[in-house]
Amino acid sequence: MQKRKGSDFAGVGVAIVTPFKDGVLDVAKLKEQIEFQIGSGTTFLVPVGTTGESPTLTHDEHERVISEVVQLAAGRCKVMAGTGSNCTAEALRLTRWAAKAGADASLQVAPYYNKPTQKGFYEHFKAIAEEVGIPHCVYNIPGRSAKNIEPETIARLSELPNITMVKEATGSLDQCSQILNTTNLTVLSGDDSLTLPMMSIGAEGVISVAGNIVPKDLLAMVRAALAGQFEEAARLHHKLFPLCRDMLSLATNPIPVKGAMKLLGRDTGELRLPMTELEPKEFDALRATLTKYGLL
């Protein structure tokens, strides 16, 4: 298999939650999370993505979380900072900050709500890639951003040296195949439950939500798939599937994962409005899944 541009990020990235206590960032709990992930062998950390509640963080908090994670990781684990925005100038500002703070790469979500044309998508990512000299991962998630970055646009972006990865969260294996056929980008799954199907056609890992809870099992599955051990990878996929399903089906991410971490005593479970806690019946369903998995 040919070596792809972002293959040094092949494996499991964890989109870490942002812990709050009484409405403010809980740095002590963040440190516990970082140590847990590094101890588990996680390939890279992704602070202030959707799972990190980036839409409700202030600019100062966004920058602080990135800086804290870089400092706490202390070179023991790569950091891919979430610095995307629907405003190109704001994405540039945040990405410059992340690079200066020592982030190894940036995660650039598709501009949301304002729904750019394909030319607008291209010019947005091109401006960031040419201005900030760290690897960038284009994050395509039309279910949240309201518009797909078409494979032809991603192919054009792949010609830019600093665009090295795609976090593919369209849910379409055909789109994933087209990207792999037409670019030399490393493709990372944006959906835990689709990681193995995507790896079967050439993706190289995942940026995971469930990895907040069970990073070792996800790593085992991804490593098995990378080694071509698909029978073992499939076994782990089916073990993980109910947990991965709950992370997205019980409520909007990151509500379920914060609920799970609360049940496991690893987070307060505190969210910021407009995110709200799981309803009692949803907590019961999540508790049952965690119990069956062997976590409770």
Both tokens of 51, joined, read 């799972």
Q: How far apart are CA 138 and CA 201, in angstroms?
A: 19
- Containing H/E element for 81? strand 78-82
Q: How far apart are CA 72 and CA 156, in angstroms?
A: 36
Q: Pick the catalytic residue: 29, 139, 147, 258?
A: 139
To the query of whether residue 167 is one of the catalytic residues in this protein, the response is yes
Report the Cα–Cα distance between both ends of the chain, in Å, rounded: 41
Those residues with Cβ within 8 angstroms of residue 288's Cβ, 6 or more apart along the chain or in another chain:
none
To the query of whether residue 139 is one of the catalytic residues in this protein, the response is yes
Task: Measure the CA dihedral 38/164/205/269, to 10°.
Answer: 50
Q: Pick the catalytic residue: 29, 147, 167, 258?
A: 167
Both tokens of 134, joined, read 């760290």
Q: How far apart are CA 235 and CA 186, in angstroms?
A: 25
Q: How far apart are CA 21 and CA 153, in angstroms?
A: 41
Q: How far apart are CA 192 and CA 243, in angstroms?
A: 9
Both tokens of 19, joined, read 């812990």
Using alpha carbons, list the distances in angstroms from residue 288 to 208, 245, 291.
21, 13, 5
**Which residue(s) pair with 45 in the sheet?**
14, 79
Those residues with Cβ within 8 angstroms of residue 112's Cβ, 6 or more apart along the chain or in another chain:
86, 144, 145, 146
Active site residues: 139, 167
